[in-house]
């Protein structure tokens, strides 16, 4: 099933994201995580693709294939940084052979030590390439606060429009902690002629180290309400975890009340957190 077909049916599409284990970690752990997430009946589960070339793509594809076999639709991430056209051709063929219909096409960040950017300067180039090679449902990433490399929010929307014009028919946002950024972003999208469904990316922050890493990587704005929470509970791990869950639930309730088309929960491979959030919002979706 193409995940874009889930939208427009009078309900909020609810999905999860997981990531492959690190190279030295056992692969079995991710499958127990997926099993618990599957029990929550998400609309789909996406699987990220980190640094590591072909070997990483094989792990991502194996996880995405297992999710699909379990009865939940899956989405495979495919970043194009450092990728040649031949690499992409091979990867797309393997995705097709595995029966995966949904690809989240990304530019991605250049891995440490790699200098060759590959044959696809932008995600829109990869999207166009995929579109020409099969009947895939192509998703793309977007940034409520603007892409960190974009000179302006206007330029950011113009670049996002290139992705949808190239064939992306569904968008998933980068994480954010202030819903007002999402609402303003969505308004700019519609004014800019971007009409495809947009899922709001929500990450429940459950420890101090996690939020420090997030801010260093993507620069998401932290509202005073959020920083006050962090300051109050940073030395109490259980309290901070529960406060982070409550903050994410509050965001989701507000988004659903405003008619958001989709919620994409960045689970960080923590099924307990996903279970708590799902229990709090399931009746609203």
CB atoms within 10 A of CB 193: 10
Closest to 139 in 3D by CA, of 166, 109, 176, 110? 166
Q: What are phi and psi of 4, to 5 degrees?
A: -65, -25
| Catalytic site residue from 17, 73, 145, 261 | 17
Give all strands (DSSP E) within 117-166, no chain letters. Answer: 137-142
Q: Is position 17 annotated as part of the catalytic site?
A: yes
57 vs 67, 151, 158, 175, 215, CA distance in Å? 15, 32, 30, 23, 27
| Distance in angstroms (rounded) separating the CA atoms of residues 2 and 189 | 22
| Distance in angstroms (rounded) separating the CA atoms of residues 38 and 41 | 5
| Distance in angstroms (rounded) separating the CA atoms of residues 221 and 97 | 41
Q: How many CA atoms lie within 13 A of 25 on its CB side?
A: 11
Q: Residue 256 has which token pair? A: 């659903």
Task: Give the residue numbers marked as catalytic.
Answer: 17
């Amino acid at each position: 099933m193409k995940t874009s077909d889930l939208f427009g049916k009078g309900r909020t599409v609810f999905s999860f994201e997981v990531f492959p284990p690190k190279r030295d970690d056992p692969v079995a752990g991710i499958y127990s995580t997926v099993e618990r997430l599957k029990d929550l009946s998400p609309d789909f589960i996406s699987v990220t693709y980190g640094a590591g070339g072909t070997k990483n793509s094989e792990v991502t594809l194996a996880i995405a294939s297992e999710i699909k076999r379990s009865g939940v639709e899956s989405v495979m991430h495919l970043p194009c940084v450092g990728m040649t056209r031949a690499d992409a051709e091979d990867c797309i063929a393997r995705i097709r052979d595995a029966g995966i219909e949904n690809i989240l096409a990304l530019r991605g960040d250049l891995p440490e030590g790699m200098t060759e950017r590959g044959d696809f300067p932008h995600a829109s180039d990869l999207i166009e390439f995929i579109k020409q090679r099969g009947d895939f449902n192509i998703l793309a990433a977007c940034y409520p606060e603007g892409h960190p490399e974009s000179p302006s929010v206007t330029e950011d929307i113009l670049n996002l429009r290139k992705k949808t014009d190239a064939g992306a028919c569904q968008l998933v946002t980068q994480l954010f902690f202030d819903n007002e950024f999402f609402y303003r972003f969505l308004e700019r999208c519609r004014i800019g002629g971007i009409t495809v469904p947009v899922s709001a990316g929500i990450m429940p922050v459950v420890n101090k180290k996690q939020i420090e890493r997030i801010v260093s990587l993507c620069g998401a704005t932290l509202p005073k309400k959020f920083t006050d929470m962090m300051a109050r509970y940073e030395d109490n791990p259980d309290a901070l975890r529960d406060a982070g869950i409550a903050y994410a639930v509050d965001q989701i309730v507000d988004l659903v009340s405003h008619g958001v088309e989709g919620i994409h929960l960045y689970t960080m491979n923590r099924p307990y957190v996903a279970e708590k959030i799902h229990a709090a919002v399931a009746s609203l979706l």
